[in-house]
Chains A and B, each alone.
Chain A
Amino acid sequence: MSLSAESLAKIERELAKYPPEHRQAAVMSALRIAQTEKGWLSKDTIAEVADYLRIPAIAALEVATFYNMYELEPVGKYKITVCTNISCMLRDSEEIVDHLEKKLGIGFNETTADGRFTLKEGECMGCCGGAPLFHINNTDMHEYLTPEKVDKILEGLDK
C-alpha cells in the first residue's frame, strides 16, 4: 500500500534541494517517484505523497491532473506514447500509430489484455528533428521510427 523506503529516500533527496519551509516544491518529483514505484498514481498514493510533503491532498491532485505524464488510471507495464503533433504527422506518425494499433490490438488509452502495453497519444516532445518518435514509460525515447524499427524495439523490451 504505502511507498517503499527506497522511494521515500528518493523523495528526501529531492526535498533537500529546496528550503525546508518549501516542501511543496518537491511535489512533481515526489509524484514522479511514486508513479515509478506504483506504475500509476491512485488517489491514495497522491494523498500519501501529499501527507509526506505536508501539503493538502488537493494541492498534489492539482499537479497530478495537470501534467499528462502522470497516470491517474492503471497502465500496462510498457506505456508507449506516440507523438502525433505537426512535425511527426508530416513524417507519417500515422503509419506508426496504425502499426502499433494493429500489432497490439488496442487503440489510444487502451491496455492489452495481458497488461503489457498501453498506447497513448502524446503532444510534441521537443525533438522534432527525430520525428516520428515515441517514448516508453516517459523516459525511454525512440526517434526516426519505422514499422520495422518499432517491431525491433518492442521485441527488445523484456531483454
Chain B
Amino acid sequence: MLNIEIDGKVVEVEHGSTIIDAADQLGIAIPRFCYHKKLSVAANCRMCLVQVEKFNKPLPACATPVADGMKIFTRSKAAVEAQQSVMEFLLINHPLDCPICDQGGECDLQDIAMAYGAPASRYTEEKRVVINKNIGPLVATDMTRCIQCTRCVRFLKEVGGMMELGLINRGEHAEITAYVDKSVDSELSGNIIDLCPVGALTSKPFRYTARSWELVRRPSIAPHDGLGSQIEVHIKDGKVLRVLPREKETINECWLSDRDRFSYEGLNSPDRLKVPMIKHHGEWHETDWKTALEFAGGHLKEIVGTHGSDELGVLISPNSTMEEAHLATKFAHGLGSDNVDYRLRHTDFRHDGKRLGVIWMGCNIPDVQEMDRILVIGSNLRNEHPLLAQRIRRAVANGAELSVVNPLDDDPLIPIKHKAICSPNDMVNVLSQILKAVSGMERLSLCLPKSLSDLLEGVRVWDNSQAIALSLTGHGETMDLISPRSAVFLGNISQHHPRYTEIFSLAEAISSLCGATFGVLSAGANSVGANLVGAMPKAGGLNARTMLESPRKAYVLVNVEPELDCHNAALAKQAIEQAECVVALTAYKSEALEDATVLLPITPFTETSGTFMSMEGRVQSFTAVTKPLGEARPGWKVLRVLGNVAGLHGFEFDSSEEVKDEIFGGEKPSAVVWRTLNNNLRELIDVEIKVKLDSDLQRVGEIPQFQSDAIVRRSPPLQKTKQVTKAVLAGIHPEQLTKLGINEGEKILVKQGTGSAILEAKADIHVPHGCVRIPGAIAATASLGDLLGEIYIERIPATAPQEEVSA
C-alpha cells in the first residue's frame, strides 16, 4: 500500500492505482471525458490534468500511477489553469448550442464546462463540421459534437468484442466513424450512448422527446433474459420514454444489452390490449372486467365440470413474474388440473421427477469471469445472454480457455480454444466422447457407474472432443493448471433440444468428473423463479409439450403467444384452434391469439409489481413504474380475481407482496433459494449414442435475440436492426446447397410435420452439414414444427415467372 496526499487529504491506495482511482476513492472530483473505469486508459482528452509536487508540468490523473508520498493538487492554481486551457481547446470545435442538443441537461461537457471552463469563448474563427454518420436504428449521431474521447471505440473493441468504430485521420481532422457505410451491429451498442460524454451519440428512439429534468426515474428489473439486469425507467407524463442501466457491479455492471435498453418501445405499441375482449360467434367484442372474468371463470369451470379437470391446460411464459406463475399454478391446482408448465420452448421432459432441485446457472454471475476453463454447450451466447457473453469474453481475455459444442458456428466475438460444431443430434455423441475422454484422464480417479462406462465402451473419441476434455481438466499448451476453476454451461439450444435430458446428464457427469461448476443459462427472465414456484406438472400432469400434443378442451395462457413462444409452432396453433375455451392473459392483441375465447388485458413489467428470479438465483422484486394502460390490470390481480370468480380458496391477496410471502412461506427468499437450487439429477438417465434419423436434414431453430418475447417483438427500433432485417431464414452450408441443387437466394419449400413454409435459401458457412438454420419465434416460420428436429426441403419447380403470365 502507498500513502499519498490529495488536496491535503491523506489516503492509502494500492500499488499500481492511478491518481484518478485514488481521488475517486476519496470522493474528490477530477473532471474527465475519456477515462472510464471499465475501459482501457487512453489519456487523450487531457481534462484530468492535476498538479503533482516535484513535477513542473501538469499530469493526467487517469494515466499517472501513484508513488509513495506523492502530493497531488487538483484545485491549485496550476491545475485550474491547465483544466481551463484544456476546456478552451475542447470547446474550440464543439458547437455552443446546448439548447438544440439532445444531450443538453445531462451532458458531461456542459457540466464540466460550467465548473472548470472559462466564462466566455475567445474563439471567433470558423468551427469545423464533421459529416454525420448513419450507424443504425438505435444510435443517433451528431458527429460535429464529438470531442474524440474514443470511449465508444474502446467500448466496442474491449467490451463488445468487435471494433466497429474507429478514429480516422488525425489532429483537427480526426473523426469517429464506422468503416465506410457500415452500421454498428453490436448487441451492446446502446451503451455507447451512455458512454458518450457529449451529444455526439444519442438514443435514436428517445431523441428529442424529453429533457432529462422532465423525466421521473424509477428502478426496475429487465424482463428479457435470465441475467436480471437492474434498470432505471425514465417516464414523462405516465409514458416510458427510455430505459437506462442502474449500476450493479455483480449483475450488469454499468452496461445494458440493446434488448433490455430498447424493448420499452414495445410497451407503447398500438397492439396493446386496453380492454377485456370476448369472442362471440367469431367476432371480438369489447367488454368490461366483470363480464369478462365471470365469462372466463364460468366457462373454465363448466368445462372442468363436464369433461374433467384434466381437460384444462395452463401455459405460462417464463417471462411472467413469480407471482403470476404462482397464482396461475395455484389456479390450475384449484380446479384440479396438474397440467401447468412454463417451459414453453422445451420439448424433452424426461428429467421430470428426477431433478433434485431448481435448475440454475450453478454459480454467481461475477464468478464467470474468474473461470479458467469454460465449456458452453448449445448456446448462441451473444444472442441469448449478451452481457454474460461479455463476462466470458473478459475471462478469455484474462487467459481462460473457452470450448463450445454447438450446432451453429456463429462468432461469439470471443477467441474459442476448441470447438465441436455438429448437428443437434450429434451433440449427444460429442458429449459422450468428452465424457469418455475426461474419465480416461489419469488424474481423475472417480469411477463411473457401470451403466455409463458400458455405454462409453463403444464410443470413439474424436480429436476435438479429446482437446475439449484436456482443456476442461486444466491441461494447457504451455502450462497445466492443477486445479482449474472450470464451468460447464448449457445454453438455450441445449434446453430446447429434443434430447435435453441426455445432454443434461452427460454435462452433469462431465462437470462432476472434473470438478467443474455445472449450470443452465435459462432463457426467460423468470425461468428459475417459475421453476421455484413449481409451475410444472407434479404428479403425472401434462407438460408444455404433451398439453399441446393431446389437445385440451380449455387453456389458460399467461403472457403467451402460442405460435411464437412454443417449441412446436404448428402444434401450438392447432391445439389452441381446436380448444373450446382459451383464456388469454395478455398485454397485446395478437394474431397468435386470434383463436382465443377471452382476452384479459394484463400489464407488462412496467405497470405491475412483481418478482423475477434470475438464473443465478437472485430474487429481485420491483414495483410498477407507471399506471396501467387503459383498463389493463396487473397479471397477479387478474389471476387472483379469476380464482375468486371460480370460487377457489386461497385467493385472498391484497398485494403482490402477500403472494410473494406465500411463495416463500414467509421466510427470507434467500433462505428458500439456498435450499432449493440444485442441478443434480436423482439418477442417471439412459443415454443412447447413435440415434438414426429419417431425414438427412435437421433444423436448427434458434430464437433470434430480438424476437424472444412479446415486448421485444413489438419494439420498432429493434425490429429495424440488421439482426432482424437481414435475418437468414433458411441458412444452409454452401456445399450442402450445391449437393441439394439449390441456388443461393432461391425460394425453397420447407416441410416439417404437417406444416410447410416457403423460405429463401441462403448460403451460411456457420451451419454444419446436414443442418438448416431456420429461426423460430417469427411469423414466417410459425407454420413449421419443432425448433430442433428433422426437416425436409424441396426445390420449388420452376414455373413461368408471374410477370410474364400477367403480361
Evaluate contact between B166 and A61: CB separation under 8 angstroms. Answer: yes
Evaluate contact between A66 and B169: CB separation under 8 angstroms. Answer: yes
A15-43: which residues lie under 8 A (CB-CB) from chain B? 43
CB-CB < 8 A to A55: which residues of B? 163
Q: What string of 1s and 0s marks CB contacts (under 8 Å) between B163-193 and chain A?
A: 1111111100000011110000000000000
Q: Is B59 an interface residue (CB 8 A)?
A: no
CB-CB < 8 A to B166: which residues of A? 56, 58-59, 61-62
Evaluate contact between B179 and A47: CB separation under 8 angstroms. Answer: yes
Q: Is B162 an interface residue (CB 8 A)?
A: yes
Evaluate contact between B169 and A58: CB separation under 8 angstroms. Answer: no
Could you say which of B167, B168, B179 contacts A56, with CB atoms under 8 Å apart? B179
Q: Given A43-B180, A47-B179, check contact A58 B164 (CB 8 Å).
A: yes
The chain B residue with its CB closest to the CB of A55 is B163
Evaluate contact between B180 and A62: CB separation under 8 angstroms. Answer: no
Q: Cα distance A43–B166 when bound, in Å?
A: 14
Evaluate contact between A61 and B168: CB separation under 8 angstroms. Answer: yes
Distance in angstroms from B141 CB to nearest chain A CB is 15
Can you sample 19 A-B contacts with CB below 8 Å? Answer: A43-B179, A43-B180, A55-B163, A56-B163, A56-B166, A56-B179, A57-B179, A58-B163, A58-B166, A58-B168, A58-B177, A58-B179, A59-B163, A59-B166, A61-B168, A62-B166, A62-B168, A65-B170, A66-B169
Closest 6 CB pairs of A and B: A58-B166, A56-B163, A65-B168, A57-B179, A58-B179, A62-B166
Q: Cα distance A65–B166 when bound, in Å?
A: 11
Q: Given A43-B180, A47-B179, check contact A58 B165 (CB 8 Å).
A: yes
Q: What string of 1s and 0s marks CB contacts (under 8 Å) between A47-74 and chain B?
A: 1000000011111011001100000000
Distance in angstroms from A33 CB to nearest chain B CB is 21
The chain A residue with its CB closest to the CB of B169 is A65
Chain A contributes a number of interface residues (CB within 8 A of B) equal to 11
Q: Please tell me the size bucket of the interface on B.
A: 10 to 19
CB-CB < 8 A to A66: which residues of B? 168-170
Q: Cα distance A56–B177 when bound, in Å?
A: 13
CB-CB < 8 A to B164: which residues of A? 56, 58
Distance in angstroms from B151 CB to nearest chain A CB is 16
The chain B residue with its CB closest to the CB of A64 is B168
Q: Given A43-B180, A47-B179, check contact A62 B167 (CB 8 Å).
A: yes
The chain A residue with its CB closest to the CB of B180 is A43
Distance in angstroms from B166 CB to nearest chain A CB is 4
The chain B residue with its CB closest to the CB of A68 is B170
Distance in angstroms from B639 CB to nearest chain A CB is 50
Q: Interface SS of chain A: helix, strand, loop or mixed? A: helix
CB-CB < 8 A to B179: which residues of A? 43, 47, 56-58, 61
Q: What string of 1s and 0s marks CB contacts (under 8 Å) between B121-163 and chain A?
A: 0000000000000000000000000000000000000000011
Q: Cα distance A56–B164 when bound, in Å?
A: 7
Evaluate contact between B162 and A56: CB separation under 8 angstroms. Answer: yes
Q: What string of 1s and 0s marks CB contacts (under 8 Å) between B408-442 and chain A?
A: 00000000000000000000000000000000000
Distance in angstroms from A136 CB to nearest chain B CB is 24
Distance in angstroms from A2 CB to nearest chain B CB is 18
Having A56-B162, A56-B163, A65-B168, one finds 6 other A-B pairs with CB under 8 Å, namely: A56-B166, A62-B166, A65-B169, A65-B170, A66-B168, A66-B169
The chain A residue with its CB closest to the CB of B166 is A58
Distance in angstroms from A60 CB to nearest chain B CB is 9
Q: Cα distance A47–B178 when bound, in Å?
A: 12
Q: Cα distance A62–B150 when bound, in Å?
A: 12
Q: Cα distance A47–B166 when bound, in Å?
A: 14
Q: Cα distance A66–B163 when bound, in Å?
A: 17
Distance in angstroms from A158 CB to nearest chain B CB is 34
CB-CB < 8 A to B165: which residues of A? 58
CB-CB < 8 A to A59: which residues of B? 163, 166
B338-361: which residues lie under 8 A (CB-CB) from chain A? none
CB-CB < 8 A to B177: which residues of A? 58
| Most A C-beta atoms less than 10 A away, residue of B162, B168, B178 | B168
Q: Cα distance A119–B170 when bound, in Å?
A: 21
CB-CB < 8 A to B178: which residues of A? 58
The chain A residue with its CB closest to the CB of B181 is A43
The chain B residue with its CB closest to the CB of A59 is B163
Distance in angstroms from B161 CB to nearest chain A CB is 11
Q: Cα distance A4–B166 when bound, in Å?
A: 28
| Most B C-beta atoms less than 10 A away, residue of A55, A57, A58, A66 | A58
Q: Cα distance A58–B168 when bound, in Å?
A: 8
Q: Cα distance A149–B484 when bound, in Å?
A: 71
Q: Cα distance A43–B163 when bound, in Å?
A: 17
The chain A residue with its CB closest to the CB of B178 is A58
The chain B residue with its CB closest to the CB of A58 is B166
Q: Cα distance A61–B179 when bound, in Å?
A: 8
CB-CB < 8 A to B168: which residues of A? 58, 61-62, 65-66
Q: Cα distance A51–B179 when bound, in Å?
A: 13
Q: Cα distance A4–B170 when bound, in Å?
A: 30
Q: Cα distance A61–B167 when bound, in Å?
A: 9
| Most A C-beta atoms less than 10 A away, residue of B168, B169, B177, B179 | B179
Q: Cα distance A61–B178 when bound, in Å?
A: 10
The chain B residue with its CB closest to the CB of A43 is B180
Distance in angstroms from B146 CB to nearest chain A CB is 15
Distance in angstroms from A157 CB to nearest chain B CB is 31
CB-CB < 8 A to A58: which residues of B? 163-166, 168, 177-179
CB-CB < 8 A to A62: which residues of B? 166-168
Q: Cα distance A66–B174 when bound, in Å?
A: 9
The chain B residue with its CB closest to the CB of A47 is B179
CB-CB < 8 A to A61: which residues of B? 166, 168, 179
Q: Cα distance A159–B162 when bound, in Å?
A: 49
Distance in angstroms from A40 CB to nearest chain B CB is 16
A110-137: which residues lie under 8 A (CB-CB) from chain B? none
Q: Cα distance A58–B169 when bound, in Å?
A: 12
Distance in angstroms from B441 CB to nearest chain A CB is 27
Distance in angstroms from A51 CB to nearest chain B CB is 12
Q: Cα distance A56–B167 when bound, in Å?
A: 13
